[in-house]
Amino acid sequence: MRLNQLGSSDLFISEIGLGCMSLGTEERKAIGIVHEALDQGVNFLDTADIYDYGRNEELVGKAIKGKRDRVVLASKAGNRRIEGREGLVWDPSKAYIKSAIKESLRRLQTDYLDLYQLHGGTIEDPIDETIEAFEELKQEGLIRYYGISSIRPNVIRQFAARSSMVSVMNQYSILDRRSEEEVLPLLHEKGISVIARGPLASGALAAEREITKGYLNYTPEEIVELRTKLSTVAQECNRTMTELAIRYSLSHPAVATVIPGASSREQLLANIAAANTPHLTQEEIAVIRQISQANRYEQHR
């Protein structure tokens, strides 16, 4: 498994990580998937405090017990639940971030996080206060580095200009190329790595998945048509559709890792198999871009 440097940090992470949100709540199964991932060379695990009401962090914590030195561990904060209120409340305040980390560390059974990420963000946030919270957590030794998880170009620009973040988690796939024009070049120039989530576009790019709904500006019919074309490309370069999709997300130089989710061992192994396939050639990338849509950000600017 190839390891890539995460931004300007001294963290080297597997080019294929594990997005832990899909693990589910069955303890034995979830821990088994994490252990299999580690055995296959994956070292980057991404979770968040809100996944399954904190249960996801607890399961990841159990899975990495005794294996912490093999893991680059990432979690997120910023969404909070308030007793008596439905849904989530956005809170990027310094006070909340510094309290949330303590609960995440408790659930994960660790003394520190390698990467702590703001789980969203708006341009109206007190950005300097949020940055100050992360910087203080670094000084206190509770986190090694920080980043943000955002698809909002203006938010990303502000953090890129004002913070020492090392990464941005951003949705990026053949079906979601919104970041190619506005975000990826900026981050590459700044030496900030992209953690690409959703490389299989919620399963739309998995060959075995039946298409029943659209994705972004694609209709179901357009996805089926594109998959037929991509299948031809995949066959010509001796890859599966999953491998082609993951390799596309990894093809941009700003991307350090992709984090497909896996709810079964079979899905995990299909994702990891992409690590054993060659990088896409410039010709293959050009073909994929020609047959897919160069969609743009329309909201959340």
Which residue type, as a one-letter code, is found at position 117?
Q
How does DSSP classify residue 184? H
Can you read off the two tokens belonging to residue 72?
């680059």
Distance from chain centroid for Cα 234 = 24
How does DSSP classify residue 68? G
Q: From CA 109, how far away is CA 286, in angstroms rounded?
A: 45
Q: Output 182-190 pairs: Cβ under 8 A, ≥24 positions apart.
A: 182/153, 182/297, 183/153, 183/156, 184/252, 184/254, 184/255, 185/254, 186/156, 186/157, 186/160, 187/156, 187/160, 187/254, 188/252, 188/253, 188/254, 190/160
- Partners of 12 in the β-ladder: 5
For residue 51, indicate whether it is catalytic. yes
Contact status, residue 287 vs residue 43, Cβ threshold 8 Å: no
Can you read off the two tokens belonging to residue 48?
């968040």
Catalytic residue numbers read 51
